[in-house]
Amino acid sequence: MDFAHAPSVSLRPPVRKEYLRLRPPELRDQRGDIERIIGALRRRGYAGEIIAPHAAARSAGLVARAAYKLTVTVVGDHGAWHIIRLEEGDTTGCLYGAAVDVGTTTVVVTLVDLNTGKAVDAASSYNQQIIRCDDVASRISYASDPQRAQELRELVVDGTVNRLLRLLTHRHGLAGDDVAHMTVAGNTVMTHLFCGLSPTGLGAVPFAPISNFPGPYRAGLLNVAINAQAFVDIFPSAAAYVGGDATADMYVCGLARRDELNVLIDIGTNAEIVVGNRDRLIACAAPAGPAFEGHGLSCGMRAAAGAIESFRLGGLSDPPRYTVIGGDKPAGVCGSGLIDFVAQAFAVGVISSAGRFTDRARARCPRIRKLRRNEAEIPAYEIAPAEQTDDGLAPILITERDIATLLQAKGVIYAALQMAMKHFGKGFADIHRFYLAGGFAKHIDPDNAVTMGLLPDIDRGKFTFLGNGSLGGAFLALIDEDVRRELPHLAAAPAVIELNLDPEFMDAYTLAMFLPNGDPSLFPTVKPAK
C-alpha cells in the first residue's frame, strides 16, 4: 500500500478501548452497571449519545465479577458512541481491525493493530464466488435466484473473507472478538452480494442499485467472523459500476483535493475511471472483462507465484525473455506480462496492428506454432515450451483469440478514457498525473501499456502507481475516523457518465481495438515495426 499521494491521516480509529475502574454500587448509589460505565466514559470526555447494545447490557454481569475494573470497547458512529464489548481487567493493548478489498477475482484482508496503526499481516485468495461464475455480469445473472444470491454471499463472506480472517487471527494468537472494526471496499456488485442485497437491478439498463451507501452494518448481521457487535463499514459507491473500490482509490490519490487535472484508473474486471480536480470530477466504468486478471485466456493467471509478470522480445525471431513471480518455472501469464507480450510482439512485428500474426512472423518466428483444435489449425505464440513450465506437461501459449480478447479489453478502457476526458473538456496533454490502481497495476510497464494503446501516449513520468488503492483506502478508513466520515461525500462527488449514452464511444472503441490505435496520430511516440 502506497500512501505517498494520500492526504495525511492521523491514528484516530473510530473504535477505541478504555480501561475503567468504576465505583462499585452501594445502597446510596443504585445506578446500573451500564450507567456506571457511561458515567466513566463521560468523565473521559466522551460526549454525545452513548449506547450500550443488548449484548453489552447482557454481559454487564461481568462488571461485578471483574470487581468493577474492566475494559470497554467503544465505536463512534454518526455522533453516537456504541459500547461493543466489555472485558475483565485491562486489555487495552489488544485492539485490532481488518481492512478488506473484495475484488471480483481477488480478496485481500489486512490485519491492522489499531494501537499502532500498523498493518500487522495480510492474506489474499481468489474470491470463492469464482467457482460459480467469473465476471460480475454472470454473477448478477446467477444471483437473480435468491437462494443462489445467498450462496454467492456465503462464498464471499464465509468462504473467503472469514477464512482469511481466521487464518490471520490464528497466526497472531488472536480471537475473532479481538477484531473490533472492519472496512470493506469493493465494486458495487461485490458490495451488494457481500451485504445480501439483490444485484439484479445492476444487470440491465438502467443499472439501478439497491443502495450506493449501504449500512451501517454490524458484523453479526453480515455473518462476518469478528466481534459480532463491531461495525463493518462498506465503502460507498458513486454508481452501479463506479464502486466503493473507486471511492477508496480517489481518497488514496487525493484526486478531489488537488487543483491540477488528474486521472485515476482502477483496472479490475471492470475498469473504473475518474477524471478531475477539486472542483469537478467525471467518472465512468469500462467493462473490460477479466482478461487483464488472467481469466478467459489460454494461459492467463493472476499476479501470483508462477506468473510471468514481464516479457521482452529483442526481435522477431529472438527467443523471449521473461521474469516469473517467485522466480520458479512459469505456470501462466498475468496482466502485466500480457501487456508486455502484446506491446513487444507488436513492436518487433510478430503481430499486426489488427492483432494477427504477421506473414513475416509466421515465416520466420520459431515460436509461432500451429495448434490442432477441432479439425482446424490455429496459430499460437509459444511463450514457454512444455519442458520449461511449472507442470512440465503443457506449453504456455498465446493464440490470436487471446490477443483479440486483450485488444477488446484495452480498447474499451482507452475509449472510456477518451470519453471521460471529452466530458471534462480536456485532452490527455492536460493531465498532471495519471494514477494507476488495482491489484496488478503495479506490475505494468508504462511504455508497453502505451505501446499497446491501453494508456494514452503522455509523458511516462506522469504515470503513478497507487498499488491496491481499494485496500489502501480501507486501511486508512480503519485507522482514521475522519477518512471514514469523508467517504460518503467523496462517493457522491463525481458526475457519472454512461458510455452507452455517448454515440462517440462506439467509434472510439472500434478504433481503439487496433494497435496502438486505428488513429495512429493519438500515439505519436509509438512506431510500428518496419
- Is 137 among the residues that bind its own copies (CB under 8 A)? no
Which residue stretch of 1-9, 189-197, 334-342, 346-354 sits at the interface with its own copies (rule: CB under 8 A)? 189-197
CA angle in degrees (0–180, nearest 5) for 170-172-175: 55
Number of residues that bind its own copies (CB under 8 A): 49
Closest to its own copies by CB, 24 or 366: 24
CA 244 – CA 252 distance, rounded (Å): 12
How many CA atoms within 13 Å lie on the side-chain side of 145? 6
Report the chain's terminal Cα–Cα distance, integer Å.
41
Report, in Å, the least distance between residue 445 CB and its own copies. Answer: 35
Q: Binding residue for its own copies (CB under 8 A) from 5, 18, 39, 57?
A: 57
Q: By C-beta, is 388 or 500 nearer to its own copies? A: 500
378, with CB counted inside 10 A (0-12, 13-18, 19+), is middle
Nearest distance, CB of residue 498 and its own copies, angstroms? 5
- Using the rule CB under 8 A, which residue among 10, 42, 44, 49 binds its own copies? 49
Binding mask 190-219 for its own copies (x = CB under 8 A): -----xxxx-xx---xxxxxxxxxx-xx--
* 39/520 with CB nearer its own copies: 39
Question: Cα(121)–Cα(372) distance, rounded to whole angstroms?
Answer: 47
Q: Residue 324 phi/psi, 5° resolution?
A: -120, 135
Among 20, 52, 111, 291, binds its own copies (CB under 8 A): 52
Looking at the Cβ atoms of 143 and 338, the one nearer to its own copies is 143
C-alpha to C-alpha distance for 256 and 316, rounded to whole angstroms:
45
Instruction: State which residue, 274 or 338, has the beta carbon closest to its own copies.
Output: 274
Where do the H-state alpha helices sit in 172-301?
A: 188-195, 219-222, 244-253
Give the relative orientation of helices 400-424 and 335-347 as an angle to the nearest 10 degrees. Answer: 100
Stretch that binds its own copies, among 45-53, 115-123, 165-173, 334-342 (CB under 8 A): 45-53
Question: What is the Rg, in whole angstroms, of the alpha carbon atoms belonging to the chain?
Answer: 26
Number of C-beta neighbours around residue 530 at 10 A: 4
- The whole-angstrom separation of Cα 495 and Cα 396 is 43
CA 168 to chain centre: 19
Q: Which is nearer to its own copies, 193 or 348 (CB)?
A: 193
**Cα gap 241→238, rounded to integer Å:** 8
The distance of closest approach from Cβ of residue 234 to its own copies in the complex, given in angstroms and rounded to an integer, is 11
What is the nearest approach in angstroms of its own copies to the Cβ of residue 153?
Answer: 11
With respect to its own copies, which residue has the nearer C-beta, 22 or 95? 22
**What is the C-alpha separation between 168 and 119, in angstroms, rounded?**
12
User: Which is nearer to its own copies, 293 or 486 (by Cβ)?
Assistant: 486
Cβ–Cβ < 8 Å for 97, 75: no
Task: Output the smallest distance, CB 501 to its own copies, in A.
Answer: 6
Q: Which of 4, 21, 61, 366 binds its own copies (CB under 8 A)?
A: 61
CB of 453 to its own copies, least distance (A): 27
Minimum CB distance to its own copies, residue 65 (Å):
11
220 is a contact residue toward its own copies (CB under 8 A): no
**CB of 59: closest distance to its own copies in angstroms?**
9
Task: Say whether residue 142 binds its own copies (CB under 8 A).
Answer: no
Calpha distance 517→511 (Å, rounded): 6
Interface with its own copies (CB under 8 A), residue from 6, 40, 41, 60: 60
What residues numbered 396-415 form the site for its own copies, per CB under 8 A? none
Quick one: 1 or 197, whose CB is closer to its own copies?
197
Give the footprint of its own copies on residues 238-257 (CB under 8 A): 239-240
Contact 38, 52 (CB under 8 A): yes
Q: Does 88 bind its own copies (CB under 8 A)?
A: no
Nearest distance in Å: CB 125, its own copies: 26
Q: What's the closest the beta carbon of residue 207 comes to its own copies, in angstroms?
A: 5
**485 membership: H or E segment, kind and range:** helix 481-492
Question: Please, what is the minimum distance in Å from the beta carbon of residue 250 to its own copies?
Answer: 17
Residue closer to its own copies (CB basis): 115 or 198:
198
d(CA 500, CA 506): 8
- The C-alpha atoms of residue 224 and residue 153 are separated, in whole angstroms, by 11
Nearest Cα to Cα of residue 234 among 270, 188, 274: 188
Query: What's the order of all strands across the beta sheet hosting 368-373?
Result: 368-373, 376-384, 396-399
Which among 102-110, 176-184, 223-231, 496-504 is the span making contact with its own copies, rule CB under 8 A? 496-504
Judge residue 490's burial from the number of C-beta atoms within 10 Å of its C-beta, 0-12 exposed, 13-18 middle, 19 or more buried.
Answer: buried
Q: Is 506 in the site for its own copies (CB under 8 A)?
A: no
How far is residue 339's CA from residue 322's CA, in Å, rounded to a whole number? 13
The residues binding its own copies (CB under 8 A) are 24-35, 49, 51-52, 54, 57-58, 60-61, 64, 78-80, 195-198, 200-201, 205-214, 216-217, 221, 239-240, 496, 498, 500-501
